[in-house]
């Protein structure tokens, strides 16, 4: 495959929230984008149009479940190489593990962890050939410490953290950096399950006295994607001092 062309990045789960902020940050930095979402195709197309018009970059959109092995392979047929891979797509399940079905468990694991395997596996060969690349996995503080009533989510993000550390060791000799961001409470739709009282209780536990913004996660992604080739294998906590 040819190395000609500009910088290219893939962001999964890009239609809203953290993924949307990351996509805009990368577009502003001059990256041509490949973006996925599961269901919000119209929202993703609208975002692509805005980014192309504002930053004069190219966007390609894909609407499918990112844990679909065949669809991921088809998408990568369109991607000559990646400079940056951001694994952001994720879902949560709130409830007692005893009440969770095996189908629900697998859906969380597939979306949050197995999808990272699929995209990384597809991106790695060209990164290795070119001897450069950045992989950033969006994780969670619950992957560090675990959360009651979010056992599957915690387990999946713990897996993402372990994948990050292990893959960084595997790809280090090829000059590819792999890091993760363990997010605390960020102002996204995923946290809309909490009512105002519950959110106030959460904020009281955060030394920064507020929830994080998607743009702050995106800023950290930018930092991980620029320059430093010695920073790898890290799970960086972004939680306002909560942990």
User: Which are the catalytic amino acids?
Assistant: 153
Q: Match 């197309």 to its residue by tokens.
A: 45
In 141-203, beta strands by DSSP E: 176-183
Q: Match 């979402």 to its residue by tokens.
A: 37
The DSSP letter of residue 13 is S
Contacts of 173 (CB under 8 A, 6+ apart): none
Q: Match 């950096």 to its residue by tokens.
A: 177
- In the chain, count of helices (H) and strands (E)? 9, 7
Q: How far apart are CA 124 and CA 104, in angstroms?
A: 29
> Is residue 141 within 8 Å of 184, Cβ to Cβ?
yes
């Amino acid at each position: 495959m040819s190395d000609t062309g500009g910088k290219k990045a893939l962001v999964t789960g890009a239609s809203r929230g953290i993924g949307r902020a990351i996509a805009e940050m990368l577009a502003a930095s001059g990256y041509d984008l490949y973006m996925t979402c599961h269901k919000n195709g119209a929202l993703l197309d609208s975002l692509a149009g805005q980014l192309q018009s504002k930053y004069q970059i190219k966007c390609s959109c894909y609407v499918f479940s990112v844990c679909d092995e065949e669809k991921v392979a088809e998408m990568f047929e369109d991607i000559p190489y990646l400079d940056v891979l951001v694994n952001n797509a994720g879902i949560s399940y709130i409830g007692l593990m005893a009440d969770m079905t095996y189908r629900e468990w697998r859906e969380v694991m597939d979306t949050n962890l197995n999808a990272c395997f699929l995209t990384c596996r597809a991106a790695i060969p060209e990164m290795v050939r070119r001897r450069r690349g950045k992989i950033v996995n969006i994780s969670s503080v619950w992957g560090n410490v675990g959360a009651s009533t979010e056992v599957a989510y915690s387990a999946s993000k713990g897996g993402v953290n372990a994948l990050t550390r292990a893959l960084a060791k595997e790809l280090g000799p090829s000059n590819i950096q792999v890091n993760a961001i363990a997010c605390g409470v960020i102002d996204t739709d995923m946290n809309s399950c909490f009512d105002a009282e519950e959110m106030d209780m959460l904020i009281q536990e955060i030394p920064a006295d507020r929830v994080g913004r998607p743009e702050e996660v995106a800023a950290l992604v930018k930092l991980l994607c620029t320059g430093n080739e010695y920073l790898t294998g890290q799970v960086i906590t972004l939680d306002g001092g909560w942990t």
